Amino acid sequence: MRNLHDHKSALGINTATFGYRSPIEATIDLCASRGVGALTPWASELKGGNIAAVARRIQAANMAVPALCRSEYLTAGNAESREKAVAANCRMLDMAAELGAQSLVMVVGGLAENSRNLEQSRAHALKGLEQLLPHARDVGVNLALEPLHPMTTADRSCLNTISQAVDWCELLDPDGAGGIGIAVDVYHVWWDPALEASIAGAGGRGRILGFHVSDWLQDTRDLVLDRGMMGDGVIDVRGIRGMVEDGGFAGCVDVEIFSAERWWKTSESETLDMCLERLLSMC
């Protein structure tokens, strides 16, 4: 397991952690000023802007771009909407390529509207990924499937465990040609009784493309926007990092904290300083 003090280029920040308050250029400059090694932006921050210029600004600050966040949902109830989502995700892959991002984070969508057929929504998500994979390979951007916590199954993601994500990768890329893998976010997977085994399975197939950190607060009040700073909750973040690194992962440790009431109300520089401190002391 790496000592992050000796791998500061592995210290990454997902811009969601700041609550989308400043233009991406200001966020880049702030992160660059603290020696952050990697930045993961959101597409909403880039739309309508000069993506090539943003890419140059990040590169000039010696920061990597592990991923672009994130896909459009693939699970709409009607075929036309699903085709539109695939097209939108192709454009998102192009944007990721222009940005120099290694992956596009795939949040696949929850149950279709007015549906109780979870198996069907999962089949639709899988089909959409199958349609996207050739384009992802063409533009050199990986599809990073992110299993989301089971409390998001209805409305955000019907992909909910690492084991399920591994199964999907094997279905879509049985020969291990690549272009598809998994983003492991401790917040979404820490509870899983099969965590260690499924991370080992993913690692054994070279499938781990990203690693996101935050914390589960004991007194969680919101299903989306109440994540904690690493160390403020109950997740053994370092233990899980050990698992993914034992599985061969050598990429960035990206802080991604959705925190409407706490960190999004703290100044961005203070939040960033705390992220860097806790990355080194708690992750």
**Closer to a second copy by Cβ: residue 151 or 177:** 151
Shortest separation between residue 87's beta carbon and a second copy, angstroms: 26
What is the C-alpha end-to-end distance of the chain, expressed in Å?
11
Angle at 40 between CA 283 and CA 10, to 5 degrees: 40
Q: What is the CA radius of gyration of the chain?
A: 18
- Please name the helix (run of DSSP H) or strand (run of DSSP E) that holds residue 181, with its range, or none: strand 180-185
Q: Nearest approach, Cβ of 276 to a second copy (angstroms)?
A: 21
Residue 164 or 266: the one with the smaller Cβ distance to a second copy is 164
Q: Which is nearer to a second copy, 123 or 250 (CB)?
A: 123
Q: How far apart are CA 190 and CA 235, in angstroms?
A: 7
Closest separation in Å from C-beta 90 to a second copy: 27
Residue 34 structure tokens? 């603290």
Nearer to a second copy, 54 or 243 (CB): 243
Q: Are 217 and 226 in contact (CB under 8 A)?
A: yes
Residue 4 or 31: which CB sits closer to a second copy? 4
Closest distance to a second copy from the beta carbon of 100 (Å): 34
Q: To the nearest whole angstrom, how small is the minimum distance from the Cβ of residue 181 to a second copy?
A: 18
| Residues 232, 209: Cα–Cα separation, whole Å | 26
The least CB distance from residue 175 to a second copy, in Å, is: 23
Q: Residue 180 phi/psi, 5° resolution?
A: -145, 140
Concatenated DSSP letters of 123-178? HHHHHHHHHHHHHHHHHT-EEEE----GGGTTTTBS---HHHHHHHHHHH-TT---
Binding site residues, a second copy, CB under 8 A: 111, 115-118, 122, 149-151, 153-155, 158, 160-161, 163-164, 167, 190-194, 216-221, 223, 233-236, 239
Among residues 223 and 250, whose Cβ is nearest to a second copy? 223
Are the C-beta atoms of residues 182 and 205 closer than 8 Å to each other? no
